[in-house]
Structure 1
Amino acid sequence: MSLISLVSVQGFILLSVQAHLPQLRPPPCNMISKEEQCVEAKGFKATIFFLALYLVALGSGCLKPNMISHGADQFRKEDPCHSKKLSTYFNTAYFSFCVGELLALTLLVWVQTRSGMDVGFGVSAGAMAVGLAILISGAFFYRNKPPQGSIFTPIARVKIIISVIPIFACTIIFNTILAQLQTFSVQQGSAMNTRLTTSFHVPPASLQAIPYVILIVLVPVYETCFVPLARKLTGTSSGITPLQRIGVGLFAVTFSMVAAAVIERKRRETYVDSGELLSIFWIGPQFLIFGVSEMFTAVGLIEFFYKQSLAGMQSFLTAMTYCSYSFGFYLSSLLVSLVNKITSSSSRHGWLSDNDLNKDRLDLFYWLLAALSLLNFLSYLFCSRWYCSSQSPSADPPPGPHGADVNHHLNFTSSKHVAADRDIL
């Protein structure tokens, strides 16, 4: 992790240097103005830019899943007390991520706006360097697991991967909805009245901070209030099982799109009928509901992948959580293209083809996503039940020492949790 953190630091430093030196970037221009022609970055300038982006992406993609699994490895699964604390760790880790995201969307944006992009990227590089120093400072205190397993372990690993693919696939629609909140919902806010006071306007892009504010508030409440109460009712150390937690989030996120569709229809009708702009605060509920659903689904998915994996696979399966984000955004682009193609005709434009929300039908697109989300939740109920039944420990292990080793690896984690996971329905 230390080496890969250096990769991210180098990427941010390269971005900062390019943003600072005029000879490494195109001349500044107003991209909003139709009269001004912006110069495209080509050749060496473009190479430097994309190299920096790929370094940051490589570092982030390798660092996050390994950091989560490394922290979880510090707990001993065989200790009931540590097993209970493991769920708390996942909540705390995600809480830390949310604090970082909130700082990036508020404080860092303010720094970049006030002092320039070069300073903003420099601050990011400095923050990564401080985090790396903190990580290295605890190197002598970490519990490092020695290599373990047998020649049959790869077979068990393939079985684990195949078994979690349906659960993984059911979270893609969830991240497709996240893509809408970061794109169309921001555009939706731009078409509303952003005035907060006579001299201050709410930046539409800052709406993306709402889910993280909700998470920062609700994660401690979930851990200190909900988990102890649920633990008494269910007897599960984490209150509810990871599969149940994912299911709650997948169901709740449907209402985020329902709220978005209702508000967008209201916004459009208000503007068309009277020319007035609806207040930007009306779209707050869709971000709020998504924040609540993310607290359940995102943390539950990370915990599920870690607990159901074999020794040595925790980082790999945890990384699948972030692959779900990528697939969700790709699916979003595909859906927009398909919707435009299907709804377009010679006599009318597609739902999202005009780039003008007062002419487009973004509300119908939101209703489509709500329907897809509900269908996705129903499919998740089926997949989670199938997973629980398929992971039931075999009554008779295969004969021979190697067969027993395979059975031990296959059921080391999943057999301890599958009984509780049956309660998802």
Structure 2
Amino acid sequence: MDMEKVELVEGKVDWKGRRAVKHKHGGMRTAFLVLATFGFENMATLALAVNLVTYFNGVMHFNLADAANQLTNYAGTGYILSILVAILADTFFGRFKTLLVSACFEFVGLALLTVQAHYPSLKPPVCNVFKPTSPCEKVGGGNAALLFIALYILAAGAAGVKATLPSHGADQFDEKDPKETREMSSFFNLLLLAVCLGGVISLTLIVWIQDNRGWDWGFGISTIAMFLGIVVFFSGLPMYRIQAVRGTSALLEIIQVYVAAIRNRNLTLPEDPSDLYEINADKEASIEEEFLPHRPIFGFLDKAAIQRTTPGQTTQPESLNPWKLCRVTQVENAKILLGMVPIFLCTIIMTLCLAQLQTFSIQQGLTMDTSITKNFKIPPASLPIIPVAFLAVIIPIYDRIFVPLASKFTGIPSGITHLQRIGVGLVLSCVSMAVAGIMEVKRKGVARDHNMLDALPVQQPLPISTFWLSFQYFIFGIADMFTYVGLLEFFYSEAPKELKSISTCFLWSSMALGYFFSTVLIKIVNAATRGITSSGGWLAGNNINRNHLNLFYWLLAGMSFLNFFLYLFVSRRYTYRPGSPMLVSKDDQEEDEL
């Protein structure tokens, strides 16, 4: 082939360290391998997210509130660790290697859970947690150590996968190529589709196996699915575009901006922004450097780029102290991350709502009639299959019909702006919690009308179908499609190229804080309501029929409602980075409004 026609991809290499070639490496064909890997990973782990609370409560004998907190602590830890893993990936090891090692960690964690679930000597003695006359022995000692070691190895592995897989998949596209930019937007939509397809199997087959064949079988199938994901991912090694590792911490450069700005706080900003420090773009040493223009926002950070030399005097980069003087581009990168922080904070409440659907809503389903036919019952943990199955249908329609149609009117590759998409999801999460409270009133009303407030759910389910809970799951599923995918694409698209993995961790960090906040909020609510309820708190004890879960759901709906208006305030003031596809014209930025 004529070497003059070979098109190289800037900043990307192949697995041997050579410059990536556009027609050989990357693109949607390799992104499909990443999507398949994410599908297998979610097949392995999504069942845990919705059913582990049952395992903690029914097998390991934690009480209901503690079981919910153990799940949210495990999930929150995984999301928080994603930040550390992302820093290591972007700075030292690269996304591909980090992702492969993390997937192996996840495999080991699942294997350990399988072993513990299989051998009775590694678990507490079997008993019925719903009988107050026969207290159950909670897991302890070496068995508890094995449980938490397995869980947190699994959490560490999941953190690495979440930190690097979306950004590694997006690395397969060239943001400067309009066609590949559109494909990258499709990739983020298909990422949720991969979650849904893996989730369909996880929430049906694996949950059914856990509940009917045993937890060892369920964990074992998850372990096999994770192994298949590793094989599929590794098979794409010769075709991947791999982001070159700088060896220096881009996050450290952001910290340097703040330190330099504080040190220079008494200096006066020049009237002409061109007098701020920037290296010469014409120098051979700076050909590979990124250059961003100065923007008149967060002016206090501009002081980090004030040169102490007189205008026109040459400043030698090798003689500079980076903790006293930073490039304009470096300052602009710090501004980009700072601008994203308020958006990040406004999404924490949504994960707080999600945590309840993975914990208390499952416990609601355990008390209800799960029959589909006389001979078949759906496990309560499989209820999320309803929004997941719907999303599996609606995502291709959204991506292939709505987005192209909307983009003709807006000029935006993704149809609507990322911030508009996030806002729609926040509204729907508020509606979901309000509906959840209404459904809980209906469920408790049936229990009260049939004198079943103290009935054991396993032995005597309430005469009301568990499918009444599908409304809250359905609405929140649509919220997922808008907010979480919108957040991933927003953070990746807006972040500096050296911080792509770290930026996508904004989403996982938001979810981590939501899960941890759920644990804190449950304890606060129980403490605040202990003296005004007969059960010792809205969410106290193991009898959900005696609790006031409906009031808790409505509290979350109210918090979500207030959070949405806060989001409107901060999103309308967000300024997209230069060159962002969300800027519909060169001279004017479209205001983000719903």
TM-score (ref. length: structure 1): 0.86
Residue pair 2:383, 2:467 contacting (<8 A) in 1 also: no
Residue matched to 2:474: 288
1:177 alignment partner AA: C
Q: C-alpha displacement at 1:292, in angstroms?
A: 0.8
Question: Hey, what does 1:210 align to over in structure 2?
Answer: 386
| Kept in 2: contact 1:264–1:362 (CA 8 A) | yes
Partner of 1:405: none
Stretch of structure 1 that moved more, 157-166 or 147-156: 147-156
CA distance in 2 between counterparts of 1:4 and 1:68 reads 14
* Residues 41, 314 of structure 1: alpha-carbon distance in 2 compared, 3 angstrom cutoff: same
Moved more, 169-178 or 121-130: 121-130
Bigger mean CA deviation after superposition, 122-131 or 26-35: 26-35
Partner residue, 2:183: 85
Counterpart residue identity of residue 505, structure 2? A
Structure-1 residue corresponding to 2:442: 266
Equivalence for 2:115 = 17
The within-5 A match list for 1:365-404 is 365-388=552-575, 391=576
2:591 matched to which residue of 1? 422
* Range with bigger deviation, 127-136 or 17-26: 17-26
Q: Is the CA contact (8 Å cut-off) linking 2:103 and 2:161 kept in structure 1? A: yes
| 8 A Cα contact 2:412 2:582, kept in partner | no
Task: Tell me: CA distance 1:110–1:372, structure 2 relative to 1, closer, same or farther (3 Å).
Answer: same
Using the TM superposition, give the Cα deviation of residue 172 of structure 1 relative to its aligned residue in structure 2, in angstroms: 0.9
8 Å Cα contact 1:241-1:420 kept in structure 2: no
Q: What is the rounded CA distance, in whole Å, between the counterparts of 2:527 and 2:346 in structure 1?
A: 25
Q: Which moved more, 1:128-137 or 1:307-316?
A: 128-137
Tell me, in whole angstroms, the C-alpha distance in 2 between the residues paired with 1:100 and 1:227. 24
Q: Hey, which of these two has a bigger chunk of helix by percent?
A: 1
1:20 partner amino acid: H
Q: Is the 8 A contact 1:308 1:414 kept in 2?
A: no
Q: 1:221: how far off?
A: 1.6
Please list every run of 5 or more consecutive structure 2 residues that lacks an aligned counterpart in the other structure: 1-98, 247-287, 291-321, 452-461
Residues 286-336 of structure 1: per-residue CA shift (max 9 Å, x gap): 111111111100100100000010012111111221122221122222222
Q: Aligned runs of 1:27-176 on 2, under 5 Å?
A: 27-34=125-132, 38-146=136-244, 147=246, 149=289, 152=327, 155-176=331-352
Q: 1:228-307 maps to which residues of 2 (within 5 A)?
A: 228-273=404-449, 275=451, 277-307=463-493
Counterpart residue type for residue 382 of structure 1: F
Contact 1:310 1:413 in 2 (8 A): no
Measure how far apart 1:203 and its partner are: 2.5
Shift of 1:34: 4.5
Identify if the C-alpha distance between structure 1 residues 37 and 360 changes in structure 2 by more than 3 Å, giving closer, same or farther: closer
After TM superposition, give the deviation of residue 111 of structure 1 in Å: 3.0
Q: Separation in 2 of the partners of 1:197 and 1:86?
A: 43
* Structure 1 residue aligned with 2:518: 332
Comparing 224-233 and 79-88, the one that deviates more: 224-233
For each residue in 1:327-354, what CA deviation from the matched residue of structure 2 results, as whole angstroms up to 9, or x when unmatched? 1122222222222333343675533335
The one-letter code sitting in structure 2 at the alignment partner of 1:308 is E
Which amino acid is the alignment partner of residue 307 of structure 1? S
| Deviation readout 1:239-289 (Å, 9 max, x if unpaired) | 111111101111112111121122222333343345574332222211111
Deviation at 1:198, TM superposition (A): 2.8
Distance in 1 (CA, whole Å) between partners of 2:573 and 2:212 is 53
Alignment root-mean-square deviation, CA: 2.6
**Amino acid corresponding to residue 166 of structure 2 in structure 1:** I
**Cα separation, 2, equivalents of 1:420 and 1:213:** 37
Per-residue deviation, residues 73-118 of structure 1 (Å, max 9, x unmatched): 1111111111111110001111101222232222112333454333
Q: Distance in 2 between matches of 1:92 and 1:2?
A: 21
* Equivalent pair of 2:200/2:389 in contact (CA under 8 Å): yes
Aligned pair 1:351/2:538, yes or no? Answer: yes
Larger radius of gyration: 2
8 Å contact from structure 2 (residues 492, 500) kept in 1: yes
Q: Which residue does the alignment assign to 2:249? A: none
Q: Distance in 2 between matches of 1:292 and 1:417?
A: 26
Instruction: Give the match for residue 361 of structure 2.
Output: 185
Distance 2:468 2:582 in 1: 46
Matched, 1:362 2:549: yes
Between the aligned partners of 1:117 and 1:223, the Cα distance in structure 2 is: 37
1:7 aligns with 2:193: no
In 2, distance between residues paired with 1:104 and 1:27?
28
Unaligned runs of 5+ in 1: 394-410
Query: Hey, what's the Cα distance between the residues in 1 that align with 2:532 and 2:130?
Result: 30
- CA distance in 1: counterparts of 2:180 and 2:505, whole angstroms: 23
C-alpha change, 1:420 and 1:120, in structure 2 (3 Å) is farther
Q: Name whichever of 77-86 and 17-26 sits farther off.
A: 17-26
Identical positions, percent: 42
Amino acid of the structure 1 residue aligned with 2:238:
F
Indicate if the aligned counterparts of 1:308 and 1:413 stay in contact, CA closer than 8 A.
Answer: yes
Question: In structure 1, what is the Cα distance between the partners aligned to 2:450 and 2:127?
Answer: 36
Task: Flag the 1:347–1:258 CA change in 2: closer, same or farther, 3 A.
Answer: closer
Kept in 1: contact 2:572–2:591 (CA 8 A): yes
Question: Structure 1 residues 328, 235: CA separation in 2 closer, same or farther (over 3 Å shift)?
Answer: same
Of 395, 398, 403, which aligns to 1:222? 398
- TM-score, length-scaled by structure 2: 0.63
Q: Secondary structure at the match of 2:368?
A: coil
The answer on whether the counterparts of 1:241 and 1:421 sit within 8 Å (CA) in structure 2 is: no
